[in-house]
Amino acid sequence: MTYEVLVTAAEADEWKRRVKAALIKAAIAISVDSPSEGINTRRDTLARQVMLASDVWTNRFALPTALGFEADSDLLIANVTDAEIDTRISSIFNDFIT
């Protein structure tokens, strides 16, 4: 698969809707945990930002989420399970903490 194919697939509306659902699901789970200090406080802050501006964060997460899959555009849309997207979002969430 070429980068061009991957970028095109990651920009597809159907892919972004799936990423958005997984991202908000992760944000809710993170925000329910009581932040204590350090990384947990920053995770909570990011989770709340995601919930307040989900479209902005969906656009930021779409390509990095897709990069976790060796797939062509059809596979990203049709064959990647919701659970796989959830796992990928969880694995990269902290990468977006400032």
Convert the pLDDT of each residue in 17-31 to its tens digit.
Answer: 999 999 999 999 998
Which residues lie closer than 8 Å to 51 by C-beta, 6 or more apart? 24, 27, 28, 31
Report the predicted TM-score, pTM, of the whole model to 2 decimal places.
0.87
Place 34 in a pLDDT band, splitting at 50, 70 and 90: low
The structural domains of the chain, with segments of one domain joined by +, span: 3-96
Residue 85 makes CB contacts below 8 A (sequence gap 6+) with 18, 19, 22, 65
97 CB neighbour count, 10 Å cutoff:
11
